[in-house]
Amino acid sequence: MMFDLTTAQLIAGQPRRDGTATFTSVTPRTRVPGTHVFANATQAEIDDAVAQAEAAFEQTRHFPAARLADFLDRVAAEIEALGDDLIALADEETALGSARLTGERGRTTGQLRKFGALLREGSYVEAIIDTALPDRTPAPRPDIRRMLFPLGPVAVFAASNFPFAFSVAGGDTASAFAAGCPVIVKAHPNHPATSELVGHAINRAIAQAGFPPGFFSLLHGDRIDVGQALVRHPGVGAVAFTGSLRGGRALFDAAAQRPTPIPVYAEMGSLNPVIVLPGALAQHGPQIAEGFAASVTLGSGQFCTKPGLLFLIDGPQADDFIATVTAQMASATPGALLNAAIERGLAQTVEHTLAQPDVTLLAGGSVVEGAPFCYAHTVMQTTAAAFRANPDLQHEHFGPATLIVRCQSQADLLGALDALQGNLAAAVHAAPGESDSAAPVLARLREKAGRLIWNGFPTGVEVVHAMQHGGPYPATTTPRTTSVGMTAISRFLRPVAFQDVPDALLPDALKDANPLGIWRKVNERFTRDAVTRV
């Protein structure tokens, strides 16, 4: 290994190890514990990390956007400088494979640079100016100007299934940094060594940029109380989480019970339903079946956008489609799961689903014995009536498993969709002549999901301005925000309005002359022009 590991907390750039409760990662392919022993963060270490973040925020909340952008570019370059050692270590801890991890690293560094570009463009502050109307009757209107400012220190909880893109320097951290907020990352215990390497890269970028060291800290822990203590700390201003419904809800409840509640932006899993209408089934059934099976099993089904539900209207072509999906799933070799908890959780959830009335197992349904954590590709089916009546059929199966819902008619399908809970994404497959049938389906799904896909599959997201990776509860705690794409920055910004404040005392984004040259909404019109006061 090119870089030495401290196996300590990294608090404001310095290693610290007070705790005695220890843990290691476990290699998924062999079930063998890792050689690097990490300690759970103590309350004193958490207190220190938050205090350092609060001190850093006193400086960084005033940093110009260009300075923050340069820092994000430095972080991306330092991660790339870790080279193949980072990929090898991440593969050892996750078994995700070098090709997948190399691509994910590129996504991670790419989104850091995209946030830098967003900062340089500048309109993310949403500057709005309504100039005074002194002659308005019956009362004059004051000059009011509004823009967004950083919220404060952010606690980021890394995900198990994305050791780069939703981890130490992932989208939550990148968007919080871009907002000017210090970040305290709670590393995922699946990949603590990988997390430390990335943490060192961030600290090198902080030193190069001349940022206060408390702008970033990294805490470790495999116990619930570490995360709970971080969320309850009065110095933390917001929380970002990617993981299970149980974990996200626990953090949300802890934050709500604080004397001063704070926002928790939790992504907590999703079923991502796919609806295949009869015309699409008739024209492209085999191709859709192949794509669906590939989407369910991609990454061993360990994506939050994996399609865990499929809705069909009964008929001979539906029978053929289900047989094709089942055969494709059963014939493919299952891959390694990330850890024992995922394997155990999937086995328990599938067992619970199969115990429900009117649910049939078509393939899989068991742990695959052998060295890796592994579960058989699993296909189950039920009826629309059973789905409507039983909320237990909407538990997420995190792994290579899916449930097919057979509907007797279009009306039966629409009734089943009405019973859907919140999801991150949903997909509709329809033939060119099925617009009349597809319209009410899309209308229902719009109320149930944050992203709608036409003739495609939900697996995968694009890091672009228009991406929406969020949805109604229980997919997330805050359906109006996204955790992927450039608008994710808005989670860590808050609006402040200035009324009749002299130009010299205003932030640059709100000054009359528009010295930043950004797009602003002035008197209900977007413009880069200067403002003339009355």
Give catalytic residues, as residue numbers: 267, 304
CA distance 523 to 438: 40
Quick one: tokens of 235? 């110095």
**Helix axes of 83-94 and 192-209: crossing angle, nearest 10 degrees:** 150
- To the nearest 10°, report the CA torsion of 398, 366, 26, 308: -10
Cβ–Cβ under 8 Å, residues 159 and 484: no
**Which two tokens mark 334?**
């299952």
Q: Are 401 and 301 in contact (CB under 8 A)?
A: yes
Closest CA relative to residue 405, chosen from 321, 302, 291, 279? 321
- Per-position DSSP letters for 365-386, written without gaps between them: -SBPPSSS--B--EEEEEEHHH
Q: DSSP letter string over 31-71?
A: TEEPS--EEPPPHHHHHHHHHHHHHHHHHHTT--HHHHHHH
Q: How far apart are CA 113 and CA 188, in angstroms?
A: 24
Cis peptide before 334 (omega within 30 of 0): no
DSSP of 322-353, one letter per residue? HHHHHHHHHHSPP---S-HHHHHHHHHHHHHH
* Cis, bond preceding 15 (omega within 30 deg of 0): no
Q: If 0-12 CB within 10 Å is exposed, 13-18 middle and 19+ buried, where does residue 180 land? A: buried
Residue with tokens 């007070």: 18
What order of strands is seen across the sheet that includes strand 14-16?
Answer: 14-16, 9-11, 216-219, 183-186, 154-157, 238-242, 264-267
Cα 357 to the center of its chain, rounded Å: 34
